[in-house]
Amino acid sequence: MSKIDSSLFEIGFLDQLATKDTPLHLIDPRIKLITTLCFIITVVSYNHYDFAALVPLILYPLILSAAGQLPGPYLRRKILIASPFAILVGMFNPLFDQQTMLQIGTISISGGWISFASILLRFVLTVSAALILVASTGFASVCMALSRLGMPKVFSTQLLFLYRYIFVLTDEAQRMMRARSLRAFNKRGTGIKVYNSMLGQLLLRTMDRAQRIHRAMLCRGFTGDIRLNKELKIRTFDLVFFAGWLAFFIMVRSSNLPQAVGQLVLRITT
């Protein structure tokens, strides 16, 4: 259980990072959100055999994390935690797609391996971009940006609450687990049956809590939307930030930079 505890602590750490005061943190949340979306769309728009062409996009997370003074080891660890999903998605590509695509000396590389590598690279790019967005903006501001950009209030409110109560819920789950393990001897009492009723119990408690929270909200005049006392303002710098990155994405997407650089090197050396 200490694992859940510490990984939750690490989620909380994202919030702490969001309170820093770097130029990246000061950019309007909406601008950062849209830029991140553009980046993700650019990354996923590539053909599944593209690998080298994607490489220049690594600059985006690298530059942003440096500008936002976000700790690299922490971000890497977070990416690593999510990596099993991506590995599972691409794992069978090398098995099914064995057609040789690339020949380096005597080693031939199949299409499957290339697409696998491409999936992993895309995964690293998109997840790091999302992490950087949250770490430099804060979850609440991301939710607010989403609703300002037209996301239905129901969803943004849900998202906000999910984030707020995940800590309370895991706390409750943890207490139940502890209570069970203290009275479970020789693995008796740890079976699926007990697990089922614990899950049910957790659901009921959650519903009870939801009702109490709703009451507390009604008592303070809640009528359907959460208003936050913050004003967002887009500055010229924010627009420059967005336009600059957009130009970069378009440039990388429309020309194969690594190939061009390679050809240039070849032309110079020969």
Partner 1 sequence: MSHHIVEVCDLRYCYPDGTEALSGVNFCIHHGESVAVVGANGAGKSTLLLHLNGCLAPTVGRVRIGDNPLTPATLQQVRRTVGMVFQDPDDQLFLPTVYDDVAFGPLNLSLPLEEVDTRVRHALNTVNCEHLSSRPPYRLSGGEKRSVAIASVLAMRPDILVLDEPTSNLDPRARRKLINLLQGFKHTKIIASHDLDMVMDICDRTIILHKGKVLADGATRQIFTDDALLEQAHLERPLSLNHHGQIRVL
Residue ranges in contact with partner 1 by CB under 8 A:
12, 15, 19, 138-140, 160-161, 163-165, 167-168, 209, 212-213, 215-223, 226-229
Which residue bears the tokens 């020789």? Answer: 186
HSE-CB for 209 with a 13 A CA cutoff: 14
61 close to 128: Cβ distance less than 8 angstroms:
yes
Report the residue number, 76 or 175, with the smaller CB distance to partner 1: 175
Q: How far is the CB of 173 from partner 1 (least distance, A)?
A: 15
Q: How far is the CB of 25 from partner 1 (least distance, A)?
A: 14
Q: How far is the CB of 37 from partner 1 (least distance, A)?
A: 22
Q: How far is the CB of 221 from partner 1 (least distance, A)?
A: 4
Q: Going along the chain, which residue ranges are E strands?
A: 100-104, 107-110
Q: Distance between CA atoms of 88 and 123, rounded to whole angstroms?
A: 12
Report the residue number, 76 or 215, with the smaller CB distance to partner 1: 215
Report the residue number, 109 or 140, with the smaller CB distance to partner 1: 140
Report the residue number, 22 or 45, with the smaller CB distance to partner 1: 22
Q: How far is the CB of 103 from partner 1 (least distance, A)?
A: 55
> Which of 126, 127, 135, 137 is closest to 31 using CA atoms?
137
Report the residue number, 162 or 247, with the smaller CB distance to partner 1: 162
Question: Residue 63 has which token pair?
Answer: 């530059």
Burial label, 37 (beta-carbon count in 10 A; 0-12, 13-18, 19+): middle
